[in-house]
Structure 1
Amino acid sequence: MSATSISHSSPADNPLLDFTDLPPFDRIRPEHVAPAIDSLLAEAEKALDTVSQPGFPARWGDIALVLDVATERLGRAWGVVGHLNSVADTPALRAAYNEALPKVTEFWTRLGADEQLYAKYKAIDPATLDAEQRQAHRNAIRDFVLGGAELQGAAKDRFAAIQEQQAALGQKFSENALDATDAFACYASAEELDGVPADVVQAARAAAEAEGKPGHKLTLKLPSYLPVMQFATRSALREKLYRAYATRASDQAGGEAVRFDNTQVIRDILALRQEEAELLGYRNFGEVSLVPKMADSPQQVIAFLRDLAHRARPFAEKDLADLRAFAAEHLGLADPQAWDWPYVGEKLKEARYAFSEQEVKQYFPAPKVLAGLFKIAETLFEVAIRRDEAPVWNPSVEFYRIERAGKLVGQFYLDPTARPGKRGGAWMDDARSRWLRPDTHGLQTPVAYLVCNFAGGVAGKPPLLTHDDASTLFHEFGHGLHHMLTQVNEHDVSGISGVEWDAVELPSQFMENFCWEWEVLRHMTAHVDTGAPLPRALFDKMLAAKNFQSGMQTLRQVEFALFDMLLHTEPQADFMALLDRVRDEVAVLEPPPFSRTAQTFSHIFAGGYAAGYYSYKWAEVLSADAYAAFEETMRPDGTPSPETGRKYRQAILEAGGSRPAMESFKAFRGREPSLDALLRHQGMA
Structure 2
Amino acid sequence: MDNPLLQNSRTPVDYPSITLQNMQVAFDYVLLAHEQGIERIIRDQQALPTWDDMVLAVDGLDSQLLAVLYAASPLVGRDEAWASAIFDFFAKATERFEQKFTNSALHALYERLANSDIGKQLDAQKRATLRWHLQKFISSGASLDPAGKMRLAELLKQIGAAREAFRSNINRPGLSITDESELSGIPQRIRDELATRAQEAGEPGWLIACESVTTDAVLKHADNRQLRERVYRAYNTRGVGLGQQQDNRSHLEQLAKLLEEKAHLLGFASHLEQSLHTKSAGSVAQVRGFLHDLAGHVRPAVLQWRADMQRQAAAKGLGSVQPWDIAYLQASSREVLSTEALREHFPLNAVVSALKQLADKLFGVTLQARPLATWDNSVQPFEVWQDNALIGFLYLDAVQHAGKQPDSVFTTYIRNRRVDAEGIFQAASVVVYSDVPAALPGSQPLLDHLSLRKLFHEFGHALHHLLVRTTNHVMSNVTELGTDGVELFGKLFERWVWDADYLVAISSPRQDGSKLSRTRVDECLRRLRQQGVEETARDLSMALFDLDLHGTPNDGRSLEQRLGDAREQCGYWPLADFEHPAHAFDHLVNGYDAGYYAYLWSDVHAFDLFTRFEAQGLLNRATGRALQEALLAPGASRPLREGIEEFLGRQASQLPYLRWHGLK
> Shorter-chain TM-score: which interval?
over 0.9
Read off the aligned partner of 1:74 and give its amino acid letter: L
Read off the aligned partner of 1:629 and give its amino acid letter: R
For 1:18 and 1:175, how far apart are their aligned partners in 2? 34
Provide Cα deviations, 1:149-178, integer angstroms capped at 9, x if missing partner: 11111111111232233234333433433x
Q: Is 2:302–2:570's contact at 8 Å kept on the other side of the alignment?
A: no
Structure 1: give runs of 5+ residues left out of the alignment.
1-10
For 1:38 and 1:228, how far apart are their aligned partners in 2? 45
Provide the residue aligned with 2:255 in structure 1: 269
Aligned-residue sequence identity (percent) comes to: 29
Provide Cα deviations, 1:305-334, integer angstroms capped at 9, x if missing partner: 1110110111111111111111111x1111
Query: 1:643 Cα shift?
Result: 1.7
Provide the residue aligned with 2:591 in structure 1: 608
Q: Is 2:69–2:89's contact at 8 Å kept on the other side of the alignment?
A: no
Q: Is 1:64–1:438's contact at 8 Å kept on the other side of the alignment?
A: no
Q: Cα 1:397–1:168, aligned 2, differ >3 Å: closer, same or farther?
A: farther
Read off the aligned partner of 1:228 and give its amino acid letter: V
- Within the alignment, does 1:231 sit opposite 2:221 as a pair? yes
Q: Is 1:365–1:463's contact at 8 Å kept on the other side of the alignment?
A: yes
Query: 1:101 Cα shift?
Result: 4.1
Query: 1:642 Cα shift?
Result: 2.2
Q: Cα 1:210–1:121, aligned 2, differ >3 Å: closer, same or farther?
A: closer
For 1:656 and 1:599, how far apart are their aligned partners in 2? 35
Query: 1:588 Cα shift?
Result: 2.6
Provide Cα deviations, 1:245-264, integer angstroms capped at 9, x if missing partner: 001121279xxxx9854333
- Within the alignment, does 1:672 sit opposite 2:657 as a pair? no
Provide the residue aligned with 1:25 in structure 2: 15
- Within the alignment, does 1:452 sit opposite 2:431 as a pair? no
Query: 1:92 Cα shift?
Result: 0.7
State the secondary structure of the residue aligned to 1:492.
Answer: coil
Provide the residue aligned with 1:118 in structure 2: 107
For 2:264 and 2:78, how far apart are their aligned partners in 1? 36
For 2:73 and 2:148, how far apart are their aligned partners in 1? 29
For 1:106 and 1:404, how far apart are their aligned partners in 2? 37
Matches within 5 A, 1:201-600: 201-211=191-201, 213-251=203-241, 261-329=247-315, 331-348=316-333, 350-351=334-335, 354-419=336-401, 422-439=405-422, 441-494=423-476, 496-572=478-554, 573-600=557-584
Query: 1:580 Cα shift?
Result: 2.5
Q: Is 1:50–1:56's contact at 8 Å kept on the other side of the alignment?
A: no
Read off the aligned partner of 2:167 and give its amino acid letter: S
For 1:562 and 1:392, how far apart are their aligned partners in 2? 41
Greater CA deviation, 205-214 or 647-656? Answer: 205-214
For 2:595 and 2:175, how far apart are their aligned partners in 1? 33
- Within the alignment, does 1:60 sit opposite 2:43 as a pair? no
State the secondary structure of the residue aligned to 1:16.
Answer: coil
Q: Is 1:547–1:683's contact at 8 Å kept on the other side of the alignment?
A: no
Query: 1:211 Cα shift?
Result: 4.7
Provide the residue aligned with 1:74 in structure 2: 65
Query: 1:284 Cα shift?
Result: 1.3
The alignment of Structure 1 onto Structure 2 pairs a total of residues equal to 655
Query: 1:148 Cα shift?
Result: 0.5
Query: 1:361 Cα shift?
Result: 1.7
Provide Cα deviations, 1:607-642, integer angstroms capped at 9, x if missing partner: 2111111111111222111111112223xxxx5432
Structure 2: give runs of 5+ residues left out of the alignment.
none
Q: Cα 1:210–1:657, aligned 2, differ >3 Å: closer, same or farther?
A: closer
Provide the residue aligned with 2:146 in structure 1: 153
For 1:210 and 1:502, how far apart are their aligned partners in 2? 39
Q: Is 1:396–1:417's contact at 8 Å kept on the other side of the alignment?
A: yes
Query: 1:511 Cα shift?
Result: 0.8
Q: Cα 1:657–1:396, aligned 2, differ >3 Å: closer, same or farther?
A: same
For 2:36 and 2:47, how far apart are their aligned partners in 1? 13
Query: Which residue of 602, 605, 623 maps to 2:606?
Result: 623
State the secondary structure of the residue aligned to 2:324.
Answer: coil
Provide the residue aligned with 1:97 in structure 2: 86
For 1:296 and 1:457, how far apart are their aligned partners in 2? 44
Q: Is 1:461–1:528's contact at 8 Å kept on the other side of the alignment?
A: no
Query: 1:280 Cα shift?
Result: 0.8
For 1:571 and 1:491, how far apart are their aligned partners in 2? 35
Q: Cα 1:620–1:210, aligned 2, differ >3 Å: closer, same or farther?
A: closer
Query: Which residue of 18, 22, 35 maps to 1:45?
Result: 35
Q: Cα 1:84–1:129, aligned 2, differ >3 Å: closer, same or farther?
A: farther
Q: Is 2:338–2:524's contact at 8 Å kept on the other side of the alignment?
A: no
Provide Cα deviations, 1:215-239, integer angstroms capped at 9, x if missing partner: 2222122332221110010011111
Q: Is 1:110–1:160's contact at 8 Å kept on the other side of the alignment?
A: no
Q: Is 1:106–1:160's contact at 8 Å kept on the other side of the alignment?
A: no
- Within the alignment, does 1:139 sit opposite 2:121 as a pair? no
For 2:345 and 2:442, how far apart are their aligned partners in 1? 16
For 1:269 and 1:29, how far apart are their aligned partners in 2? 36
State the secondary structure of the residue aligned to 2:169.
Answer: helix
For 1:56 and 1:65, how far apart are their aligned partners in 2? 17
State the secondary structure of the residue aligned to 1:386.
Answer: strand
State the secondary structure of the residue aligned to 1:385.
Answer: strand
Matches within 5 A, 1:186-205: 186-205=176-195
Q: Is 1:502–1:612's contact at 8 Å kept on the other side of the alignment?
A: yes
For 2:570 and 2:346, how far apart are their aligned partners in 1? 35
Q: Is 2:280–2:481's contact at 8 Å kept on the other side of the alignment?
A: no
Q: Is 1:101–1:168's contact at 8 Å kept on the other side of the alignment?
A: no
Query: Which residue of 659, 665, 668 maps to 2:638?
Result: 659
Query: 1:115 Cα shift?
Result: 0.7
For 1:67 and 1:574, how far apart are their aligned partners in 2? 44
Q: Cα 1:78–1:543, aligned 2, differ >3 Å: closer, same or farther?
A: closer
State the secondary structure of the residue aligned to 1:412.
Answer: strand
Q: Cα 1:324–1:425, aligned 2, differ >3 Å: closer, same or farther?
A: farther
Q: Cα 1:56–1:250, aligned 2, differ >3 Å: closer, same or farther?
A: farther
Provide Cα deviations, 1:75-111, integer angstroms capped at 9, x if missing partner: 21122344433xx252112322343344322221110
Across the aligned residues of Structure 1 and Structure 2, the Cα RMSD in angstroms comes to 2.1
For 1:490 and 1:386, how far apart are their aligned partners in 2? 25
Query: Which residue of 626, 643, 648 maps to 2:627?
Result: 648
Read off the aligned partner of 1:533 and give its amino acid letter: K
State the secondary structure of the residue aligned to 1:296.
Answer: coil
For 1:376 and 1:240, how far apart are their aligned partners in 2? 42
Q: Is 2:370–2:381's contact at 8 Å kept on the other side of the alignment?
A: yes
